[in-house]
Structure 1
Amino acid sequence: MSSTGVNPAAVNVLGRQESTTESSTSLTLAALDANNALVSDSLATLSSEAGYQVVDVGVLAIRGYKSTVNRWQPLMGWLESQIPNSYFRLHPLSIEELAKGVETEALDFVITNPGQSVMLARQFSLSWLATLRSPINNGAAMQVGSALVVRADSPYQTLQDLKGKRLGIVSKNAFGGYLTLVYEAQLKGIDLPDFVGEIIPLGFPLDNLIYQLGAADKPSDKSPSLDAAVVPVCQLEQMQAEGLIKLQNYRVLDNQAPAGFHCQVSSRLYPNWSMAKTNRATQSLAKQVTQALFALPEDSPAAKAAESAGWTTAVSQLAIDQLLKDLDMHPLQTPWWQRAWQWVKLHQHWAWFVLTILVLLNVYHFWLEYRFSRRGRELINTQRQLSENRALLEHAQRIAIAGELGASLSHELNQPLAAIGHYCHGAEVRLQRGTSPEELQSVLTLIQQEVSRADSIISRLRNLLKKRPVSKQLLYLHQLVNDTAPLLAYELEQHHIQLSTNVSGEAYQLPLDEVGMQQLLLNLLKNAADACVQRQQSEVDASKPYQPTIDIDLRYQEHKLLLTVTDNGTGLTEDANLLMQAFYSTKSEGLGLGLVICRDIAESHGGRFSLETALSGGCQAQVSLPRKFDGAPA
C-alpha cells in the first residue's frame, strides 16, 4: 500500500492487520472482524484524535483470501493516497457473506462481479460508481464470461459432447463460473443441468476446478473426478502467468473470443467488475472515491494488480438483467403463486367469476358421477332382466317347436311301440306252442332294444324342453346331427323331402352346448322344410316336377368347423339382416325368434352365423365354429 499522504500510525496499524489476516484461512465476515479486532481500537483512537475515517470495502473472493488481497489491496492504497485522512479496510468475502455485509450495513463499498452486482442491487439500496476496464479488450468494460475447460487429451470437442458427463462448477449462483454458460446453452436449445450427468459445485478457490480435471500439472494416482469444468474467463491464462499450470494441457470448448480479446471464452461477454456504495457511506465520500477511481492510471500498480486498465463510468446491467430473467433467477421475479395472488387482488370480480365457474363445474361433475352410477346400476338390472327374458323366449320357442313336431314324435314313438306289441304277441303264441323260455330270449332282447329306442326319443324331447343353465361338453357335431335329424323324419317323409348328410375331414370334438346346438339344427331344418313345402304348394309347372331336397354339409377343417344347411325351397324373400332381427317373421304364425336364437347360439360358441341365397335358388344357412386345440382329439 502506498504511504503517500498517510499518517505513519495508520501505516503501522495496516502492517499489523496484513500480518494478521494473511495467516487466516477463513473468509467469513465474523472471522475477518475478529482478525481486525486488534486494529479496531487503534483505528478508533486514531479517528477520534486525528480525524481519520475507516472505510470498509467488501470484495468477492473468487480465488481465496490471499489472491484477493494481492489483487485489491493496492487499490485500497491508491484510494488512501487520493482521499486524505482515510483508511480503507479490505474484506475478502464469499457470495453469501457479501450479501450479509450489505444487508447489515457492515460495509461502506462493495466490489463484485456483474451477476452478484445485479443480485445485490435488486435487493438492497446500492449506488454503482464505476466499472473496471479490460486490459485485454481494448479498454472496454466487457470482460466477464465463462470458459468451458477440458483436458487437452480428452475426446470432447463441443458442449454437445458432454451429455451425461461430470461437470465441475464454482456454485450454482456463480455468474462467470456457471450462469453465463447455462444461459449460452439455453440459447442453443440445451438445458445444461439435465443435459450433463452430474454437476459438482466445488466452491472457492477456483484453482481447484482446474486441478480436479486431473491434468499433468497436478499428477495423482486417482482417476480424474471431473470431465469438464466451468471457470471465469481468463482463469486459465492467469494461472499460467502465475506458474500454476501449463496452458497446453487444457482446451476451452466452443471458443468465441472477440477480435483483440486475448483470453478464450465459451460464452458472450458481460460487464466487468463494478464498485458500489452502500447506505452506510456518505455521498461526499462516494464522490471522492469515484473521482479517485477515474484518476487511476491504467499503467499504475493498482490497475495492473486488479487486472484492469483503470476504471470507467458504471456500465448498464440490462444484459445481465435479461440473463437472470430468462433463467428465472432475477431477484425481482416473484413465484407464480405470488403473481397469481396479485392478479386476483387486482381483478377480484373476474376471480370470483372463475371461482364460481369452478365450483359449479365440480358440482356438475359430482352430479354426473351420481347419475352415471345410478344409470349403471339400472343398466345392469336391465341386462339381467333381458337375459332372463331371452332365456324364457328360447324356452317358449323350444316348446313351440316341440308342438310342431308332435306328429313326427308320435310317428317315431308308434314304431317302437308297435314293434313291442308284435314281439309280445309272437312270444305269447310261442309259449302256447310249448316253446321253452330260453328260446324266447332273443325276442326279449328285441323288445328291450325297442324300449331303449322309445326312451331315447322321449329323452331328446325332454332335453329340448328342459330349461337349464348352459353347460358345454366335448361332443362330435355330426353325432348331434344324426340324433336331431330323426325328430323331423316323419314331416320330411310326409312331404317327400329328401334329406342328405355329408361329413368330410377328420372328425374332432368341440366343447358344445348339446341342447343349444340341437335347437339350432332343428330351427335350420324346420325352416328349410317349410321353404320346400311352400314351394311345393306354389309350383304350377307340371312339366318340370319339383323334388324338394335339404343338404347338410359338415366339414371338419384344421382351424374351424363349417356346418351348412342348403335347401331348394322358395329362397330368401327379405334381406338377411332383417330376417335375423328379433320378432320379425315372414310366417303368419312365426315368433320371429328362430334365426335370432341360431345367431346367439353360434356366437356363444365363438362362431358366426350367416344366411344367403343358394346357387340352386333356395336358401343357404352356414354356421362357422372355431376349433379349440385344447379339446380332446378324435
Structure 2
Amino acid sequence: MRFLYLASLLLCLLVPIKTLQSQPIAQTQTAKTDQIVAVGVFADRGLDEAVQRWQPTIDWLSQHIEGYQFKLIPLSLSQLQNELSQQKLQFIIINPSESIRIARRQSLSWLATLLSPLNGGTSIATGSVIWVKSDSPYQNLHQLAGQKIGTASPQAFGGYMAMQRELQRLGRDSDLLINTKVIGYPHESVVAELQEGDIAAAILPVCLVESMIRKGQISPNELRPINDMTPSGFECRVSTRLYPNWGFAMTGSADRTLAREILQSLLAIPKNSNTAQAAQSLGWTVPESQIELDNLFNDLGVHPLQQPWWQLLWSWVQTHYYLIILMLIVATFLPIQHLILTLRYRRNSRKLGLAQANLQQAQRRALVDKMGSSLAHELNQPLSAIRLYTEGELSRRQKGSSQTDIDQLLGKIRRQVIRVDEVVSRFRQLLHKQAVQKSQLDIALLLRDTVSLVELYAHTHKVEITFHPTHDEMMFFGDRAGLEQLLVNLLTNAIDASASSSKKQVWVTLTLASSRIKISIQDTGQGLERPIAELLTPFVTTKKEGVGLGLSICKEVAESHLGHLSFNNLDNGGCCVSIEFPIPNIRDDNDKH
C-alpha cells in the first residue's frame, strides 16, 4: 500500500511539470505556422499578369515549406527599389536587367534561375525582338532609320536594352534609336500602339508576342519580326543574342536556413506541373552566371558600378591634384612669358629697324662728304653760266646796247637753274632718309646720271670711267633712291680701287638678256683682299676711314629687288662686280608692294 501511495504522489507532481514544459513548445509551433514571408516580384507586364504568373509558385512554397506562409507582392520598378532600400523584402523574383541594377547596389544572393521551356529547356532565354506589322514596307534594320520605334522604357531589358546593345554592335544605334517613343509599361501597350499604326516598329521582350497569340489577344499573322536571329529549335522569334532568364534571389535580411529550404523546394517543382506552366517555364535550375549581363550594362555605359565621367574626373583630380596645380602654373606662366617675349621682340625689332635706318643715313652722309667736291663742281658750272649771262647783259646795257633777246636770255638762265635743282635733288636723295617707293624708271638713264654724278670724284683721283649701255632705254620697276645709292657705292669703290693702280680705269656696262638686266662695274685695282662673305658683313671694311656699311647696304638693296650681287677677282688684276635684276611684270610687282 505504501508503494502505491508514493507512486500516485509522484505522478501528481510530474503532470503539472509536463504541462508547463509542453505549453511553450505549442506556442512556438503556432507562432512558426503563422510567420509570413513577403516575396516581391517586378510586375513588368502589369499587376494582374504578375499575380497570374507567379502566385502558383508562391503557393507551392507555402505548401512545401512547413511553418511559413509566403505572400506575393507585385511591385512596379520604383516600388521594388524602394521596398528593398527599406529592407522590407526577404526574397524577390526579378528579371535580368533589374537583377544587375539592384544586385550591384543591394545585398542579393541568387538562389535559382527560371528554366524556359524553349529549346527543350534553357536558362538563357531573355532578349529582344523588333516587330513590325505584316503589311509594313520595312524589311530590314536599315529601312527603319529615322522611323518612330516604340518601347515600354529605355530601362526595359528585353523591351529595349538588349536591342540597343545589338544595334550598338552594328554601329546603328544612333540613327535607328534617334526617334524612339517611350510608351510605358505594360509591354502590351507598345503592341497596341503598333497595331494602331502610331509607331513603325516595336521593341518587345522575347516570347511576348507568342504569348499574346496563345491567349488570343492578337492574330498569328498580324506581326512579323525584323533582324531575325532565332536559334535553331527556339520556339520564339529573336532579334538579339540571348541572356539569362528571371531569377529568384534572397536579400541581406533573409534567413539563410529558410533560403536553403526555398531552393530545395524550387528545384523540386515538376516541369509539367501547373506551377511551372503558369510561370511559363519548366521549373527552376541552379543560378546562371551574370557576366554577360554585366558586359551589356558596361557596353551601354549604364552599369551601376560605373561612375559618371564627372565623378571619374573628380576622383582623378583628387588623386593627381599636384599635376593640376603644375598644369595651372604652366598654363598661366606660358601665356605671360609669350606676351613678354612678343613685346620684347617687337621693341627690339623697332630698335633694330631704327638702328639700321640710322646706319644707312650715316653711310649716305659719308657718301655726300666723300663727294663734296663733286657737288661743288656740279653746282659751279651752272652757277658760272648764270653769272656770265647776267654780267654780259649788264655790261651791254651799261654801254647802251639794248638789242638783247630777253626771252632767249631768260631761257638760258632757266635751264641752268633747272640743272642746279637736279644736282641738288640727286644729292638730297643720297642724304635724306626716305621710305622705299618703287615706280617705273629707266635704269639706263639712272645709270647714266649716276656715272655723271661721280665723274668729278673719278677725275679728282685721275680715274677714267667708260660707260657702254647696249640699250638707250631700259624700263625697270624699282626704288630710284635705293638703286642710286647702290650704284654710287659700287662706283666709288671701283674708283678708289683703280686710283692705286697704273691703269686707273673703270668700265661700266649695261646689258639685257633672257629677261634679266645685268650691270657690270670692272676696276683695275688689286681685287678683293678678304672673302666676300666677310666684306658683306656690316662694319667690316678694308678702308682706313670706311664705315663698313656700303656693301651690306648694296646687298640689301639688290635683294629687295629680287636681284643678285656677285664679286669676282679677275686674272689680270682688278675686280668685277655684277648686279642682276629680273624684269618683273609691273602689275604683279605693284600687287606685292
TM-score by length of structure 2 reads 0.77
Partner residue of 1:551 out of 487, 499, 509: 509
Shift of 1:299: 2.1
In the alignment, structure 1 residue 63 sits paired with structure 2 residue 45: yes
Query: Residues 114-164 of structure 1, C-alpha deviation per residue, up to 9 Å, x if partnerless?
Result: 221232223223343322111012212111122344566555635x77666
Partner residue of 1:495 out of 463, 468, 471: 463
Matched ranges for 1:291-370 at <5 A: 291-334=264-307, 359=325
Q: Which moved more, 1:400-409 or 1:378-387?
A: 378-387
> Is the Cα contact below 8 Å between 1:572 and 1:618 reproduced in 2?
no
Match of 1:137 in 2: 119
Match of 2:226 in 1: 252
Shift of 1:272: 0.9
Match of 2:580 in 1: 622
> Is the Cα contact below 8 Å between 1:504 and 1:555 reproduced in 2?
no
The number of residues matched between the two structures is 550
Match of 1:238 in 2: 211
Query: Residues 281-337 of structure 1, C-alpha deviation per residue, up to 9 Å, x if partnerless?
Result: 545654554344333222223322322111122223233234434544333445677
Match of 1:95 in 2: 77
In the alignment, structure 1 residue 519 sits paired with structure 2 residue 475: no
Shift of 1:623: 4.0
Return the alpha-carbon distance in structure 2 between the equivalents of residues 505 and 113 of structure 1.
Answer: 100
> Is the Cα contact below 8 Å between 2:442 and 2:473 reproduced in 1?
no
Shift of 1:595: 2.9
Closer, same or farther in 2 for the Cα pair 1:120/1:50, shift >3 Å? closer
Closer, same or farther in 2 for the Cα pair 1:191/1:95, shift >3 Å? farther
> Is the Cα contact below 8 Å between 2:490 and 2:521 reproduced in 1?
no
Match of 2:501 in 1: 537
Shift of 1:278: 3.6
- Look up the equivalent residue of 1:537 and give its one-letter code: S
Match of 1:421 in 2: 387
Which has the larger Rg? 2
Q: Which moved more, 1:281-290 or 1:593-602?
A: 281-290
In the alignment, structure 1 residue 609 sits paired with structure 2 residue 557: no
Match of 1:565 in 2: 519
In the alignment, structure 1 residue 582 sits paired with structure 2 residue 538: yes
Shift of 1:357: 6.5
Closer, same or farther in 2 for the Cα pair 1:483/1:151, shift >3 Å? farther
Return the alpha-carbon distance in structure 1 between the equivalents of residues 519 and 467 of structure 2.
Answer: 10
Return the alpha-carbon distance in structure 2 between the equivalents of residues 384 and 54 of structure 1.
Answer: 94
- Look up the equivalent residue of 2:375 and give its one-letter code: L
Match of 2:553 in 1: 597
Identity in percent? 35
Q: Which moved more, 1:261-270 or 1:326-335?
A: 326-335
Match of 1:275 in 2: 248
Shift of 1:261: 1.9
Shift of 1:184: 4.2
Matched ranges for 1:63-212 at <5 A: 63-82=45-64, 88-149=70-131, 153-154=136-137, 157=140, 167-185=149-167, 188=169, 190=171, 192-193=173-174, 196-210=177-191, 212=193
Return the alpha-carbon distance in structure 2 between the equivalents of residues 204 and 219 of structure 1.
Answer: 17
The secondary structure found in structure 2 opposite 1:92 is: strand
Closer, same or farther in 2 for the Cα pair 1:506/1:608, shift >3 Å? closer
Return the alpha-carbon distance in structure 2 between the equivalents of residues 461 and 588 of structure 1.
Answer: 24
The secondary structure found in structure 2 opposite 1:111 is: strand
- Look up the equivalent residue of 1:135 and give its one-letter code: P
Tell me, which stretches of 5 or more residues in structure 2 are unaligned?
1-29
Query: Residues 73-114 of structure 1, C-alpha deviation per residue, up to 9 Å, x if partnerless?
Result: 343444444457876544433322221122223434321112
> Is the Cα contact below 8 Å between 1:171 and 1:202 reproduced in 2?
yes
Partner residue of 1:464 out of 406, 419, 430: 430
Q: Which moved more, 1:107-116 or 1:240-249?
A: 240-249
Match of 2:397 in 1: 431
Return the alpha-carbon distance in structure 2 between the equivalents of residues 202 and 96 of structure 1.
Answer: 17
Return the alpha-carbon distance in structure 1 between the equivalents of residues 467 and 283 of structure 2.
Answer: 118
Match of 2:7 in 1: none
Shift of 1:392: 1.6
The secondary structure found in structure 2 opposite 1:261 is: coil
The secondary structure found in structure 1 opposite 2:405 is: helix
The secondary structure found in structure 1 opposite 2:518 is: strand
Return the alpha-carbon distance in structure 2 between the equivalents of residues 198 and 407 of structure 1.
Answer: 95
Match of 2:367 in 1: 401
The secondary structure found in structure 1 opposite 2:464 is: coil
TM-score by length of structure 1 reads 0.73
Query: Residues 5-60 of structure 1, C-alpha deviation per residue, up to 9 Å, x if partnerless?
Result: xxxxxxxxxxxxxxxxxxxxxxxxxxxxxxxxxxxxxxxxxxx9996555443322
Q: Which moved more, 1:257-266 or 1:615-624?
A: 615-624
